[in-house]
Copies of this chain bind each other. A is one copy, B any other.
Amino acid sequence: MSNKAKTNNFVVKIANVNGTGSASANGLLMKSIFRMGIPVTGKNFFPSNIQGLPTWYEIRVSKDGYLCRSGKVDFMIAMNAETYESDLADVSPGGFFLYDSTWARKGMMQRDDITVLGIPLSGMCNEAFESARAKVLMKNVAYVGALVALLNIDMGVVETLLNETFGSKPHLMEANMQAIKMGQTFALENFDCPLPLKLEPMDKTAGHVLVDGNTTAGLGAVYAGATVTSWYPITPSTSLIDAFSIFCKQLRVDPDTGKNNYCVIQAEDELAAIGMVLGANWNGARAFTATSGPGVSLMSEFLGLAYYAEIPAVLYDVQRVSPSTGMPTRTQQCDIISAAYASHGDTKHVLLFPADPTDCFHMSQQAFDLAEQLQTPVIVLTDLDIGMNDWMIPEIEWDDSYVPARGKVYDREALRNMDNFYRYLDVDGDAIPWRTLPGVDPKGAYFVRGSGHNKFGGYTEKSDEYKDVIDRLRRKFDTAASMVPAPVIDKATDAKANKQWAIVSIGSCDGAIREARDRLTASGIATLDYMRIRAFPFADDVANFILDYDHVFVVEQNRDAQLRQLLSNELSIDPNRLIPMLSYDGMPVSSDFIVDAVEEHIQQGRAA
């Protein structure tokens, strides 16, 4: 790539040890670039422990606004001697490798296709700072300083950011600035600054924000009118609940009474968490929980109850690498099947597939609306990549005229005006019955049960009565298909559109697919139409789209092609039409992966 091409277009990856405070330095770096108007994203690869293990932060600067991993590393900041070797190997040819040269490192120079830069960061900081903690922390700030020079970061922006953070603590402000300057000075004095990878101000971030999806999902639940949450801590979902709690503390304390218009309960485990959510929804509150794979497994008995007894509930599953405990701090889309069919027996659940933090916000309202309208659990299948990484998204807009869709609930007056209330009757022919809330009127009283019940709500062990209800539940799923968000279909503008292949995917694959499509078109390999599915059950458009092509590539981040399975099974589509493209090593899927996979497939197809 030419130097020109690398302006505002490269990946910086910082290798560090966790618990050494690198997060704030990396945030400073990200935000500086963002404030320079240049599109940027940050992905955090952290270990499942608290201190002392390798951690990486990958910043992609992309003038074209691509937010996914490209699959390349142009500049490695190697702060962790334990991973020097693999970090060195990770750098793409022509790239750069910066390390702490306080101690001489042998064998560092095996690669002659990259440029190695040594800065004695520890040495400088040990000298400059007193406290042990500062010596460690400031190393990180110092490499940011070096990058100011090496990448041509706007120093004014850096200063402003530091001021915003440390404005009230002048001694911290001073120390940080000192470290920045130290790094900057060393770089200016020793290297040819800026490097060919460099930044130039743009205006592409106006109207945008940098945020992770757990934050927007938590905030989205606040705006959806959720009042009760119960959860059990688990990576990577914990920060979603943290966000909800923090925003509630800011926005939901009654100014008159000082009392909370929300209720956050840390449960004793996931079974209790979902149980509380069901109890609260039954009783008329919008309630939700968040968890990850192991939690979904533990919740499955209760999810089956909610399906069968028709209790609304919202569950965010922030997916991580499975099976079992797996790699809790790595990403996958691996709970599609376990969520769609959670629980024994003939059970199905409504799923939403957000693609980014914007979706996490808006799908929160959709999830609660659908849960109450359909009287069933709605599972929002987000993932670690969306939930915990830093995404650049357009500012979220909010329409204050939003009114929660609470679905079919008879109030006191309606009850008084009717002869008899029966819980599970299909009054309106859409397979959705009416419900009532406890405490409203004795006439609304009914008995929720997970055991056999008939359409009146009575206990039954009679075959036909049981079947009547279970068949209506199946029909309710047809209604659901007509209500959930439709897929986003992106037809290639190219007139001679290719009807041989297209791409189908969900959620966080979106960014990588968009870039891959551009690259595939640009390289003349293929121009591919693309459908991003946003919900299960599948809207009609989903099958229509797929059947328009000889084959579709189903891109997803799990080993067993779970989306493909769901598509084939629920739409009766020949699985041979659905070509799996599976990235499941725990890293967010990269555009490289997709380009390579498509290219290989198409070339094989041509050869055959």
Contacts and interface: CB of A to CB of B under 8 A. Distances in A.
B585 A466 contact: yes
A294 B344 contact: yes
Given A321-B466, A572-B575, A585-B463, A338 B327 contact: no
25 contacts: A48-B451, A293-B345, A298-B300, A300-B300, A304-B323, A305-B323, A308-B324, A321-B345, A322-B346, A322-B347, A324-B343, A324-B345, A327-B451, A330-B452, A335-B344, A338-B344, A338-B345, A346-B560, A464-B585, A470-B584, A474-B559, A568-B569, A569-B575, A572-B576, A575-B575
Find the residue from A345, A347, A450, A451 having the highest chain B CB count within 10 A. A345
A328 interface: yes
Closest 9 interchain pairs by CB? A322-B345, A324-B450, A293-B344, A463-B585, A323-B345, A574-B574, A297-B301, A325-B450, A346-B559
A383 B162 CA distance: 67
A573 B569 CA distance: 10
A346 B558 contact: yes
Given A344-B296, A466-B586, A304 B330 contact: no
Interface in A550-600: 558-560, 562, 565, 568-569, 572-576, 584-587
A341 interface: yes
A167 interface: no
A298 B304 CA distance: 11
Interface string A319-352: 0011111111110101101100101111110000
A346 B559 CA distance: 6
A342 to B, nearest CB: 8
B585 A48 contact: no
A47 interface: yes
A308 B326 contact: yes
B308 A323 contact: yes
Residue from A327, A329, A461, A464 having most chain B Cβ neighbours under 10 A: A461
Count of identical protomers in the assembly: 2
A253 to B, nearest CB: 36
Given A297-B304, A572-B575, 7 more contacts: A298-B300, A307-B324, A323-B470, A325-B449, A346-B558, A572-B576, A574-B575
Interface of A: 47-48, 53, 293-294, 296-298, 300-301, 304-305, 307-309, 321-330, 332, 334-335, 337-338, 341, 343-348, 449-452, 461, 463-464, 466-467, 470-471, 474, 558-560, 562, 565, 568-569, 572-576, 584-587
Contact of A334 (B301, B329, B345): B345
Nearest to A329: B461
- Most chain B beta-carbon contacts within 10 A, residue among A294, A323, A326: A323
A43 B552 CA distance: 49
Contacts of A452: 321, 326-327, 330
Nearest to A562: B346
Contact of A344 (B334, B343, B470, B587): B334
Contact of A326 (B294, B332, B451): B451
A565 B337 CA distance: 12
A506 to B, nearest CB: 16
Given A322-B346, A324-B345, A450-B324, A569 B559 contact: no
Contact of A327 (B335, B461, B574): B461
B450 A326 contact: yes
A305 B298 CA distance: 13
B324 A309 contact: yes
Nearest to A338: B344
A467 B341 CA distance: 25
A464 B327 CA distance: 12
A471 to B, nearest CB: 8
A344 B322 contact: yes
A471 B574 CA distance: 25
Contacts of A562: 346
Contacts of A322: 304, 308, 343-347
A343 B323 contact: yes
